[in-house]
Amino acid sequence: MIVITGATGTLGQLVVEEALKVFPASEIGVSVRDTSKAAHLAAQGVSVREGDFKKPETLTTAFNGADQLVVISGNGQGDELVQAHNNVINAAKEAGVSRLLYTSQIGSSPASYFQPMVDHFKTEELLDQSGLNFVSLRHGFYSASGQFFFSIGIKDGALRLPKNGPINWTTHEDLAQGLVAILQDESFDQQLPVLTSARALTMEEIAQEYTQETLTRVVISDEEFYEQLNAIPNLPEEQKKCLLISSMQV
């Protein structure tokens, strides 16, 4: 059986959809915090289990019978998230999972200024120490996240954001297809495969694809970008700092 965590999230639900194209529903299970949100999957014959990364007691049962476990990285950041991922790894070992697929990121590094990269690196360290057979999928930056930058950076025909370089943006749909292809190939032997687009694009290029307009690129300072973020109601300070660093990464 294949068990997929986070199956009602943006990426998780696409992974389930792709998996159902090639595997019988009876061979698929999902681990979700709120099982009511996965009722449509249960109706298709998918095994729906309650599993919360922050509640270790739920995870072993959620992963019961899993030969392959797809771990969609959790929400949040820092030590709390890494501990949640550690709960998942321990439960996977206890459940006897044969292969674990984890959604990481290409910038995974202990030296990154971008906290998610550090969290991915620490999770990969835990996986390496666990003795589990695992594949850590090094995803490119989600192209959907660019839409947030465009929503605050595009105005009057100009793209006003800090200086950036080209990056391999990737769609959730493509990443879901790639993940399921690896699920099908049990002989796949790359532990840290990189899943990115074929061509790197600048923020200006992807913005023009997004808007279908010719935009004037205006490079602003970090301080000006921070002011843009301050204008967004109810945006937590921690998230502002993360977005500021993210804009510099790309």
- The letter for the amino acid at 5 is T
142 pLDDT above the threshold of 70 = yes
Residue-number span of the structural domain to which 185 is assigned = 2-249
- Percentage of the chain lying above the pLDDT 70 cut: 98
Query: What mean pLDDT is predicted for residues 162-178?
Result: 89
Q: How many domains does the chain have?
A: 1
The answer for residues whose C-beta is within 8 angstroms of residue 171's C-beta and 6 or more apart is 142, 143, 144
Q: Which residues contact 135 (CB under 8 A, 6 or more apart)?
A: 99, 100, 101, 102, 182, 188, 190, 191, 192, 193
CATH number reported for the structural domain that contains residue 62 in this entry: 3.40.50.720
What confidence tens digit (pLDDT) does each residue in 119-128 have? 999 999 999 9
On average, the pLDDT of the chain sits at 91
